Amino acid sequence: MTEFEFLQKYDSKFVKIDYLQTLDPDLHFIIKSYDGKITNYLKQQKPGEKIWIKGPVGLGLGLTKKSFGNFVGFSAGTGINAFLDLLHFFAHKKICKTYGNDLYSDDEIEFYNRTLNDFNLTLFIAFKDARSAYGMKHIMAAAEIYPERVRVFINVSDITDFEKLYPLARSKLVNRFDEEIIRKYVPRDAKKIFFSGSAIFNNKIGDYLESVGFNQ
């Protein structure tokens, strides 16, 4: 968990908190307020009060414990953020099942005991280069712990450097994302296909999907 200090309310839509463990006094976080438990709680705090934030947590992507079937995601660069909470959930679900009473609170145990019935994720991840890759701990943990549920394909320009940094990810590497890869690995019965990259990346993947028979 990470300690933050509540700074101020901007207005009815935003709140601002400060990361206490950073060396940069100008690094702040602006959080958009929704009518939910977390942001409503933040809006009730007073300047100077401290809060603890833990994450990433949850399922993300609008998924619920009733979600089932094949889901597909394409991410480029920081677009992987859209999937990290889900990958984190997969990894910690298994750990909780094994070591729950020793490592997790009762609330956490209840959360990670949620079932995703027949849920499968195929994730295509593109990074500019090895140095810009991040979130690999969550990515590899989910893929290794649930190989039958989470399939990962990674595209990066400098494969040799990437393999040095992440040797366990060697088997996940592909040379490119194109029609051939999509035709081979994207399930035809995918319930949803998520895009999380630049407009150019998203449009290109959309064109590839359409060319092999998927509706936009």
Report which DSSP code applies to 76.
E
Res. 9 pLDDT band, cuts 50 70 90: very low
Report the pLDDT averaged over residues 99-128.
80
**Is the pTM for the entire model greater than 0.75?**
no
Report the mean per-residue pLDDT for the chain.
79
Residue 165 has pLDDT above 60, yes or no: yes
Residues in Cβ contact with 68 at an 8 Å cutoff, skipping those fewer than 6 apart: 116, 117, 118, 119, 191
Res. 190 pLDDT band, cuts 50 70 90: very high
Which residue has 């394409």 as its token pair?
Answer: 74
**Which has the higher per-residue pLDDT, 83 or 22?**
83
Please count the residues of the chain.
216
Q: What is the pLDDT of residue 51?
A: 67
Are the C-beta atoms of residues 186 and 194 closer than 8 Å to each other?
no
Task: Using a pLDDT cut of 70, give the percent of the chain over it.
Answer: 76
Q: What is the pLDDT of residue 172?
A: 92
Q: What is the pLDDT of residue 23?
A: 44
Report the pLDDT averaged over residues 179-208.
93
Residue 193 has pLDDT above 50, yes or no: yes
Res. 60 pLDDT band, cuts 50 70 90: confident
Residue among 178, 162, 93 nearest 129 (CA) = 162
Residues in Cβ contact with 6 at an 8 Å cutoff, skipping those fewer than 6 apart: 15, 17, 18, 42, 45, 46, 47, 48, 49, 50, 51
Res. 11 pLDDT band, cuts 50 70 90: very low
